[in-house]
Amino acid sequence: MMKGLKGLNILEMADLGVTFTTDTGDVPAVRDVSLHVRPGETLALVGESGSGKSTVALAALGLLPGNARASGRVTVDGTDVVAAGEAELARLRGRTASMVFQEPATALDPLTRIGRQIAEVVRNHRPVSRAEAAREAVELLRRVGIPEPERRASAFPFQLSGGQRQRVVIAMAIANSPGLLIADEPTTALDVTVQAEILDLLRELAVDSGTGVLLVTHNMGVVADFADRVAVMLRGEVVETGPVEEVLLRPTHEYTRRLLAAVPRLMLSGEGPPPSGPPEEPAVVRLRDVSVRFGRGRGAVRALEGVSLDVHPGETVGLVGESGSGKSTAARAALGLVVPDDGSVSLFGTDLNRARGRARRALLAGVGLVLQDPVASLDARMSVAECVAEPLRMHRRGMSAAERRERIAEVLELVRLPRELAGRGPRELSGGQRQRVSLARALVLRPRLLVADEPTSALDVSVQRTVLEVIAELQRELGFACLFVSHDLAVVQEFAQRVVVMRAGRIEEQGPTMTTLLRPETEYTRRLIAAVPVPDPVEQRRRRTADRTGATA
Amino acid sequence: MDQLKPMDTTDTLLYLTRRVLQALAVILIVTIVVFCLLHALPGGPARGILGPQATGEQIAAFNHEQGLDRPLPVQYVYYLNTLLHGDLGTSYTLNEAVLRLIEQRLPKTLVLTVLSALVGLLLAVPLGMWQAVRRNKPADYVITTLSFVAYSTPVYFLGLILVLLFTQTLRWFPSQAPQGDTLAQVFADPAALVLPVVTGAASMIAVFSRYMRAATLENLSEDYVRTARAGGSRQGAILFRHVFRNSLTPVIAMLGYYVPVLFGGALVVEQLFNYPGMGLLFWSAAQSSDYPVLLGCVLVISVATVVGTLVADVVQRVVDPRVKGGRA
């Protein structure tokens, strides 16, 4: 390392290595990581799950779990974090360097009022009175854009929305004007519009006070939007590092290229295929004026209101919207899992709510379902073959064991899973393999409709792409219709022919994907699209400026 | 959602009303079950009370006099009716109103159980937290082992050992609990209270230190602890400002369910130390088939249990702002 740089960098890592001690032996998580962050600069640390990027972030503040050993040198504003004791680290944390975490839902103490939690960080480092710290907490809440901060200061975390909670975490992080801010996936749990607001807030704070930012993320759009430089991690090592334009537009490492190729990109202009007219065949699923309320009385939540949509044979309809928009409820209504208070749901031309007993079961046998969390949606005590066989046992009681085995082998082959996996448990599989088991289970009865609720949201981009491609290919081959629920507009744009945009339980607009997402009719859809960061730093900067001037004009 | 959700007072009132009604229903069911069980016992109380020499006529006369020859539902309705008039009946053997007996004995048992519970909690909570902090270190192992020993030792056996050790060998404490009818007399001899209270508290310490250890460990691995550390808070501050309160909430909930266990313990402890409380009353009533007294005692214990869980739930609502109306 050059000596002259030492004073300049707020964070400097040299040959950082982190090893976890586990029951099965030592697992090296991070090897030979060297990087630096200058004041006022944002370095994005990107990589897929298990690449060690979060471990690097935690190591920067000495927050590694007890079974981790760090080696090498990590210097924050002149203090060696690896060598420092707990007392020295406590003085550093929250003052010189602080951190914003991924999950705002759990990052705050549920039983302590948010004002007090912020004041605690203030009083950890400065000898101010309780009253003074409380006043500062209100000021900080105002600074991070919480409305009515005097009143909100006495709120408990559960009384705030996810975005507001993340603002509170940020307020805690900037309470003592740190020189370094570490943000570990700060917007991953948030909706895109909220993500855009939080990124704007972080950018503003960094520019105002010259704070250096280490941003850990898997989202290339966020990188393009926010970072000055990028370091790409693969299996615990940094494989490429450079200015954001270089790395995102002209990647040199093979892995970076593959990673960027897998990222679904939202097309912002151009012509899609001409929208075909409404299909001749009758819809496989048809929702008419469906309304769903949860709860009773004043506390009732209107989850759906007057929702009408059709899915025709062979087509994919993307159901998009932010959290709480009702998109999952609409999918569940189509499956008969939620009984509408009003309106009708018909599957394959039959009213689902009038069908009873065997007729109803026969209808539902025509629908396959893939859910978001591949770990939770497969029974850990069953083998892959048993998981896939379950619908057959339910709906094809006459089938012999031999026939069943044959059908399972067939379906596993369809989703491109090796036959040997049939006897394994779901836990022995990777995330992408598990999701393909879910898909095999959904397809084993040869359904006419596949309902997929955020099927790839828990997966890395490269895995997401293979799973989506398998679905699309099988759809061409088998001709089932697909109701595809997703919050990711880019994915929907790529895989759906038609799109339904939902907001607060209602349908905001719907139409052919290329029409609706390129020339949206409503302001809401426009804002939704504008909030999605594209993984091209030049384009993203242009959009942001346009958005700003557009907003002020 | 942009609105702050207020803690609704009408919500709380509704919740309380619902819980109290549920509690009454539970108590009613308990009386039915106990009433049926008692009367299903062979022999009946007459033989026990009139002695082995009593003739068939004498027993029949007693049963008729006490209404024991009538159909069970009729007896129950009669019992319930007197109960609603605040009358728990008259003891067969002690010739005194059951209510009066309970009035005399209950305060003493309450003193014993409340003291045991307090001592138990005051030791168990810090012990459990300390174990969590020193997890898998020698101290944790030693306390864990002791907890299992204390928990799996029957109360009467533990009591006997304590009596042997502290009254015979060491001669530190008297072997009898304070005798005397008023609470003032009970408190006048605190040394005599030590062994009964410790015996009652032992299993409580064992059980609740385990709860507290588990709850603390769970909370120590929560994200908010990491947030506090990232803000520069020290271990001690994190433990006492955040982890303590969050860990205590589930333990409070358990406390309500522990009331019958405490009463069960009192039964044995009172017998052991000859302490004239509810336990001893229950014990002697059970031996002489004194139905009115037994029913009265069970009623008191079930009311205490129901009130205990109710109070625990309400306290939890106060401590944890997230717990709302909920389905009980």
A137: contact with B, CB 8 A cutoff? no
With contacts defined as CB-CB under 8 Å, which chain A residues touch B242?
109, 111-112
Q: Are A67 and A20 in contact (CB under 8 A)?
A: yes
Whole-angstrom distance, CA of residue A103 vs CA of residue A215: 15
* Helix segments in A144-234, DSSP class H: 149-152, 162-173, 192-209, 220-226
Contact check, Cβ <8 Å, B228/A109: yes
Strand order across the A285-294 sheet: A301-311, A285-294, A342-347, A350-351
Residue type, A316: T
User: What pLDDT score does B166 carry?
Assistant: 85
B1: contact with A, CB 8 A cutoff? yes
Contact check, Cβ <8 Å, A110/B228: no
User: What pLDDT score does A279 carry?
Assistant: 60
A409: contact with B, CB 8 A cutoff? no
* Rg of chain B in Å (alpha carbons): 24
- What is the set of domains in chain A, with CATH numbers? 3-261 (3.40.50.300), 285-540 (3.40.50.300)
B321: contact with A, CB 8 A cutoff? yes
Strand bridging mode A11-22 / A68-76: antiparallel
Average pLDDT over residues B187-202: 84
B83 burial (CB, 10 Å; 0-12 / 13-18 / 19+) is: middle
With contacts defined as CB-CB under 8 Å, which chain A residues touch B222?
106
- Min CA distance, B315 vs chain A (Å)? 14
User: What pLDDT score does A419 carry?
Assistant: 84
Residue A516 three-state SS: helix
A426 burial (CB, 10 Å; 0-12 / 13-18 / 19+) is: buried
User: What pLDDT score does A552 carry?
Assistant: 43
Cβ neighbours, 10 Å, residue B107: 15
Number of CB pairs, chain A paired with chain B, less than 8 A apart:
92
Contact check, Cβ <8 Å, B231/A107: no
B52: contact with A, CB 8 A cutoff? no
Contact check, Cβ <8 Å, B234/A86: yes
Q: How far apart are the first and last CA of chain A?
A: 49
**Taking CA atoms, what residue in B is nearest to A61?**
B230
Whole-model pTM: value is 0.82
* B93: Cα separation from own chain's centroid: 26
**Taking CA atoms, what residue in A is nearest to B135?**
A66
User: What pLDDT score does A250 carry?
Assistant: 93
State both tokens at A92: 């550093």
B218: contact with A, CB 8 A cutoff? no
With contacts defined as CB-CB under 8 Å, which chain B residues touch A117?
228
Sign of CA pseudo-dihedral A101, A105, A106, A111: positive
pLDDT by 10-residue block (mean), chain A, 553 residues:
56 93 88 93 91 92 90 92 91 93 90 94 94 94 90 91 90 93 89 88 86 92 93 94 93 92 85 62 90 80 90 92 88 90 91 86 90 85 91 89 92 89 86 90 92 88 89 91 93 92 92 90 91 90 77 43
User: What pLDDT score does A276 carry?
Assistant: 62
* Rg of chain A in Å (alpha carbons): 26
State both tokens at B221: 């691995």
Q: Which residues, in sequence order, are CB contacts of A138 under 8 Å at separation 6+?
A: A115, A149, A150, A153
Whole-angstrom distance, CA of residue B293 vs CA of residue A483: 68
**Taking CA atoms, what residue in B is nearest to A171?**
B231
State both tokens at A212: 């250096």
Considering only CB atoms, A109 lies closest to which of B242, B249, B319, namely: B242
B327: contact with A, CB 8 A cutoff? no
Whole-angstrom distance, CA of residue A496 vs CA of residue A488: 12
Contact check, Cβ <8 Å, A110/B2: no
Residue B190 three-state SS: helix
Considering only CB atoms, A99 lies closest to which of B1, B222, B230, namely: B230
∠ CA(A185), CA(A189), CA(A193), 5° rounding?
100
Choose, out of A54, A92, A109, the residue to mutate when testing the contact with B (most B CBs < 10 Å).
A109
pLDDT (tens digit, 9 = 90+) per residue, B271-316?
888 888 888 888 888 888 788 888 888 888 888 888 888 888 888 8
Residue type, B184: A
With contacts defined as CB-CB under 8 Å, which chain A residues touch B235?
86
What b/e readout covers A278-317, taking b as 16+ CB neighbours within 10 angstroms?
eeeeebbbbbbebbbeeeeeeeeeebbbebebbbbbbbbb
A6 vs B188, residue with greater confidence: B188
With contacts defined as CB-CB under 8 Å, which chain A residues touch B1?
161
**Taking CA atoms, what residue in A is nearest to B248?**
A111
With contacts defined as CB-CB under 8 Å, which chain A residues touch B232?
90-95, 121, 124-125
User: What pLDDT score does B328 carry?
Assistant: 31
Query: What is the residue extent of each domain of chain B?
Result: 9-41+88-319
**Taking CA atoms, what residue in A is nearest to B241?**
A112
- Min CA distance, B307 vs chain A (Å)? 25
User: What pLDDT score does A397 carry?
Assistant: 87
Considering only CB atoms, A111 lies closest to which of B226, B229, B320, namely: B320
Stretch 230-269 of chain B: residues touching chain A, C-beta under 8 Å: 230-235, 237, 241-242, 245-246, 249
Residue A38 three-state SS: coil
Choose, out of A93, A95, A111, the residue to mutate when testing the contact with B (most B CBs < 10 Å).
A111
Provide the phi-psi class of A306: left if phi over 0, else alpha when psi is between -120 and 50, else beta.
left
With contacts defined as CB-CB under 8 Å, which chain B residues touch A147?
2
Choose, out of B3, B219, B227, the residue to mutate when testing the contact with A (most A CBs < 10 Å).
B227
Contact check, Cβ <8 Å, A91/B321: no
Choose, out of A67, A159, A166, A216, the residue to mutate when testing the contact with B (most B CBs < 10 Å).
A159
- Min CA distance, B1 vs chain A (Å)? 6
With contacts defined as CB-CB under 8 Å, which chain B residues touch A63?
226, 229-230
B316: contact with A, CB 8 A cutoff? no
Q: What is the dihedral of CA A275, A280, A286, A288, to 10 degrees?
A: 80
Cα B37 to Cα A305, A325, A544: the distances in Å are: 55, 56, 78
Contact check, Cβ <8 Å, A93/B319: no
Cα B17 to Cα A38, A106, A160, B13, B305: the distances in Å are: 62, 33, 29, 6, 18
Whole-angstrom distance, CA of residue B222 vs CA of residue A79: 27
Contact check, Cβ <8 Å, A156/B227: no
Provide the phi-psi class of A265: left if phi over 0, else alpha when psi is between -120 and 50, else beta.
beta
A62: contact with B, CB 8 A cutoff? no
Q: Are A456 and A290 in contact (CB under 8 A)?
A: no
User: What pLDDT score does A190 carry?
Assistant: 84
Tell me which of 3.90.1150.10, 1.10.3720.10, 2.60.120.10, 1.10.287.110 is the CATH number of domain B9-41+88-319: 1.10.3720.10
With contacts defined as CB-CB under 8 Å, which chain A residues touch B236?
none
